[in-house]
């Protein structure tokens, strides 16, 4: 008679073994951090736990390699590292997961080797606000606390494929997982260096639009963003935006509240050129803006 628990245990062992081939450890004080060997000589991990220099990687074969920082993505809390001495790892296998799927959190400790724990995907969402100037396009969470030291490491599916990168600690307010496809796409962007936070250089408050303004924007929109401060030398001032302007749109998207502004800036990214619609002196104007970065 088949033993279902033994079958499950065997499947979990197999998944962990596959994940161990691309799970690395970052040796740092006071405790280790984990990371993912995503292919070639590149490691993806959590940015907020990685120093700018003095990086040492505990590799799957038991060796220790020096590494250098390539770039950071502060919004997604990701850092891309390059391992020294010509490592040529295969591309990491990846797969999507959904709410209800069982997933395994994996870490590599320089003393104990691989550690793992079992979770269930408890929620998944989009456009999660991060700090003042960032929005995660997509994310998911698991149903209980993760092991210490797993931050930056992989969350894998039942077959050992990368489901996501575990990021953010509780001191930052949230503990989430960046889906594998999004994390790997951001890693490609990081090969060119750090990704700046998009920054416009304004302070605003939500205000009701007049009937004339509603008619001018030609869509159902009751509010806009009144600029109460424009920072000297930053993107908004360089584009000619002024205190008293009411932002009502960016590109094809409405700007009815501050959350929509943050989401739009994050979606376009620093350096992007966008058309911003403003109400000024009772008239609708389009102002081309190059989004700044910090």
| Same-domain pairing of 176 and 210 | no
Which pLDDT value is given to residue 146? Answer: 81
Cα–Cα distance measured from residue 30 to residue 43, given in angstroms and rounded to the nearest whole number: 21
| Same-domain pairing of 154 and 252 | no
**What pTM, to 2 d.p., does this model score?**
0.82
Where does a domain end: 190, 215, 238? 190
| Same-domain pairing of 185 and 206 | no
User: Element (H or E) spanning 92, and its range?
Assistant: none
Task: Assign 1 a pLDDT band (cuts: 50, 70, 90).
Answer: very low
Q: What is the CATH number of the domain that holds 257?
A: 2.30.42.10
| Same-domain pairing of 74 and 169 | yes
Which pLDDT value is given to residue 127? Answer: 82
Do residues 234 and 270 make contact, with C-beta atoms less than 8 angstroms apart? no
By mean pLDDT, which of 33-37, 42-46, 73-77, 159-163 is the weakest? 73-77
User: What digits encode the pLDDT tens for the residues 222-257?
Assistant: 999 999 999 999 999 999 999 999 999 998 889 999
Backbone angles phi and psi of 195, in degrees to 5? -100, 120
Do residues 205 and 176 make contact, with C-beta atoms less than 8 angstroms apart? no
| Same-domain pairing of 137 and 257 | no
Cα–Cα distance measured from residue 289 to residue 48, given in angstroms and rounded to the nearest whole number: 30
* Two structure tokens written together for 284: 């609708």
Task: Assign 269 a pLDDT band (cuts: 50, 70, 90).
Answer: confident
Cα–Cα distance measured from residue 37 to residue 136, given in angstroms and rounded to the nearest whole number: 23
**Whole-number mean pLDDT of the chain?**
91
Stretch 54-71: mean pLDDT, rounded?
Answer: 93
User: What digits encode the pLDDT tens for the residues 105-160?
Assistant: 999 987 778 999 999 999 999 888 776 667 888 999 999 888 888 999 999 999 99
| Same-domain pairing of 39 and 165 | yes
**Residue 43 lies in domain:** 4-190
Where does a domain end: 190, 223, 240? 190
| Same-domain pairing of 136 and 37 | yes
Where does a domain end: 163, 190, 217? 190
Do residues 166 and 116 make contact, with C-beta atoms less than 8 angstroms apart? no
Which pLDDT value is given to residue 130? Answer: 76
Q: What is the CATH number of the domain that holds 57?
A: 2.40.10.120
Which pLDDT value is given to residue 266? Answer: 82
By mean pLDDT, which of 31-35, 53-57, 222-226 is the weakest? 31-35
Cα–Cα distance measured from residue 42 to residue 55, given in angstroms and rounded to the nearest whole number: 13
| Same-domain pairing of 133 and 26 | yes
Structural domains of the chain, count: 2
| Same-domain pairing of 268 and 145 | no
In the chain, the percentage of residues whose pLDDT exceeds 70 is: 96
């Amino acid at each position: 008679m088949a033993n279902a628990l033994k079958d499950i245990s065997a499947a979990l062992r197999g998944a962990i073994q596959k994940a161990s081939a691309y799970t690395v450890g970052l040796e740092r004080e006071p405790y280790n951090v984990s990371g993912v060997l995503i292919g070639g000589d590149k490691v993806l991990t959590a940015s907020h736990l990685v120093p700018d220099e003095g990086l040492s990687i505990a590799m799957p074969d038991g060796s220790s390699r020096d590494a250098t920082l390539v770039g950071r993505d502060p919004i997604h809390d990701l850092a891309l590292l390059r391992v020294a001495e010509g490592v040529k790892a295969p591309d990491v296998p990846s797969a999507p997961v959904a709410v209800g799927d069982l997933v395994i959190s994996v870490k590599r400790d320089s003393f104990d080797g691989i550690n793992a724990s079992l979770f269930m995907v408890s929620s998944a969402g989009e456009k999660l606000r991060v700090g003042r100037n960032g929005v995660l396009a997509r994310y998911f969470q698991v149903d209980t606390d993760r092991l210490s030291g797993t931050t930056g490491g992989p969350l894998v599916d039942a077959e050992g494929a990368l489901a996501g990168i575990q990021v953010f600690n509780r001191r930052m307010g949230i503990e989430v997982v960046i889906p594998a496809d999004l994390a790997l796409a951001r890693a490609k962007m990081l090969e060119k260096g750090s990704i700046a936070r998009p920054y416009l250089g304004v302070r605003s408050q939500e205000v009701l639009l007049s009937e004339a303004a509603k008619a001018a924007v030609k869509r159902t929109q009751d509010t806009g963003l009144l600029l109460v401060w424009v920072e000297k030398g930053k993107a908004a001032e360089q584009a000619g935006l002024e205190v008293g302007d009411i932002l009502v749109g960016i590109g094809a998207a409405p700007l009815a509240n501050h959350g929509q502004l943050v989401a739009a800036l994050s979606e376009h990214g620093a350096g992007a050129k966008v058309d911003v619609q403003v109400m000024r002196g009772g008239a609708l104007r389009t102002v081309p803006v190059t989004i700044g970065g910090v």
